[in-house]
Amino acid sequence: MAERIIIIGAGVIGAASALALQQDDHDILLVDREAPCAGASFGNAGVIVNDSCAPTAMPGILFDVIRMIGQPLPPVSIRPAYFHKILPWLIRFIWQSRTAAVTNNAIHLYALSKHAVKSWRQLIDKSKLSSVLEETGWLKVYELQKTFNATSKARVLMDAIGTQYQVLTGEQIRDLEPNLAPIFNVGLYQEDCLRIVNPHRLVAGMVDLFVSRGGEYRQFSVEMIKVANETVSLSGPGGVLVANRVLIAAGAWSRTLARLCGDNVPLDTERGYHLMLPESTRSLLNGPVVNGESSFVLSPMEMGIRISGQIEFAGLTATPNYARMRSLLPAAKRMLPDLDTHEESVWMGCRPSLPDSLPVLGFASNTHQVLYAFGHQHLGMTLGAITGLVIADLVAGRKPVMDVSPYRPNRF
User: pLDDT under 50 in the chain at which residues?
Assistant: none
CATH, residue 379:
3.50.50.60
Residue 284 lies in a domain: yes
Residue 218 lies in a domain: yes
CA distances from 134 to 40, 52, 92, 212, 364 (A): 21, 18, 37, 24, 36
Residue 269 lies in a domain: yes
Output the pLDDT for position 212.
97
Residue 53's domain comprises 4-407
Residue 263 lies in a domain: yes
DSSP notation for 370-405 = EEEEE--GGGHHHHHHHHHHHHHHHHHTPPPSS--G
pLDDT digits (tens, 9 = 90+) for 146-161: 999 999 999 999 999 9
CA distances from 362 to 268, 299, 392, 393 (A): 19, 32, 10, 10
Rounded CA-CA distance 8/29 in Å is 9
Residue 310 lies in a domain: yes
Residue 412 lies in a domain: no
Output the pLDDT for position 72.
63
Q: Could you give the number of structural domains in the chain?
A: 1
Output the pLDDT for position 76.
86
